[in-house]
Amino acid sequence: MSTSLLFLPPLLVTLPLKINALVGIKEAPNSLALVAGIGALVAMLGNPFFGRMSDRTSSRLGMRRPWMVIGLLGGSLGLLLVALAPNIPVVLIGWCITQLFFNALLAAQIAVLPDQVPSTQRGLVSGVLGICLPIAAVSGTFLVRLVSGNQLATFLVPCGIGGFFILLFAFALKDRRLAVADRPIWSLREFVSTFYVAPRTSPDFAWAFASRFLFILAYAFLATYQAYYLLDKLGSARADVPQQIFLGTLTQSVVVVAASLIGGQLSDRTGRRKIFVFTASIVYGLAMFVVAIASTFNGFLVGMAIGGLGFGLYTAVDLALVADVLPAENRVAKDLGVLNIAGALPFSIAPASAPIILAIGGGRYGALYAVAGVCAIIGALAILRVRGVR
């Protein structure tokens, strides 16, 4: 939950508003596309790289713990640079540092699931982890609203609170240990394979990757441009945006929590994963169409609630499905890092493609969210090609 608390407030509120304050609403979408897009590319490379480093770490402190601490400290410094940045180039540098190190933290932390949880309980645990994201989203947007008069505090307060609990987890964790003799030999081939899993030898993993990529792409369109959607399409005042994003996030998160807990347990009991991920993607796609046609804030909230149902089911089961189709037990953090490219790359593609979609759609954000809906539905079809799990 605390790791999500590091990522979500900047993504949902503070980074778009920081950029808007520097360049104004007309230039803000393009500037956000530059910053978020390049930052996501850094995340895309950083996550599998640090996952590989974690898999081969033979420190007395364990395999995962050192990278959690390094990632937290480095990412926090990057976020401070973003908060203090006087112009877009400095924002870009700070955000790239933030993404690089926070993804080192994420790569090590996500490997704890296959490290320590048996396959028969992964649906339950994945469901519990699924509620962490909405709780962090609500908590983060609430904290931003609480300190909205101080821009520095909007960045650092969520980071400070999240960082405290991450350190608590890191030091309490009974971490997996790797003997020096068992450490994989480092080579150029090994380094190149850090960023790749062969689809021919691991087709289930490849289809799971494609499905997650398309689902997260739909979410990235919503999350990245939510503030500008409210400002432009619904005509909200800038001062009202933090409050409205908080209410939208709260509405969505209440449904996410219920759907995630129920969906994870049902998946374990039935022994099925695909039908839950398929249904979740379809529902989320429909929610994006509701957001696309909304003309009032209440209509937006309805879309967010429906999206919460889809997102909750998805987060409850997707991670358990992925853990069941990982290619090899001795490189779980690396392979999860490759999978996390599917979670990072959309946040590069969405900002890069959104201005083009908006231009084709006459500047209408409804067109942008219609495209998001189509992406989620195609992602639902991709998961049906997975054969190794039911």
**Which CA distances in Å does 296 have to 232, 235, 292, 300?**
12, 9, 11, 6
pLDDT in tens, the chain (390 residues): 898 899 888 877 889 889 988 988 778 878 888 898 888 888 878 877 888 788 878 888 888 899 999 999 999 999 999 999 999 999 999 999 999 999 899 888 888 877 888 777 777 777 777 778 778 888 888 888 888 778 889 999 999 999 999 999 999 998 888 777 666 666 656 656 555 566 677 788 888 888 889 998 998 888 878 888 888 788 787 778 888 888 888 888 888 888 877 877 787 787 788 888 899 999 999 999 999 888 888 899 999 999 989 988 887 787 777 777 776 666 666 677 677 777 777 877 887 788 888 888 887 888 899 999 999 999 999 888 887 677
pLDDT of residue 328: 63
Residue 207 domain flag: yes
Assess contact for 15 and 95: CB atoms under 8 A: yes
Q: What is the CATH number of the domain that holds 268?
A: 1.20.1250.20
Assess contact for 314 and 284: CB atoms under 8 A: yes
Residue 316 domain flag: yes
Residue 389 domain flag: no
pLDDT of residue 145: 83
- Residue 34's nearest CA partner among 352, 344, 346 is 352
**Rounded distance, CA 58 to CA 186, Å?**
13
Residue 189 domain flag: yes
Residue 236 domain flag: yes
| CB-based contacts of 262, cutoff 8 Å, min separation 6 | 127, 316
pLDDT of residue 377: 94
What domain range includes position 146? 2-383
SS3 letters for 132-176? HHHHHHHHHHHHHHHCCCCHHHHHHHHHHHHHHHHHHHHHHCCCC
Residue 390 domain flag: no
pLDDT of residue 191: 59
pLDDT of residue 59: 81
pLDDT of residue 72: 95
Domain total in the chain: 1
pLDDT of residue 184: 66
Residue 388 domain flag: no
Residue 167 domain flag: yes
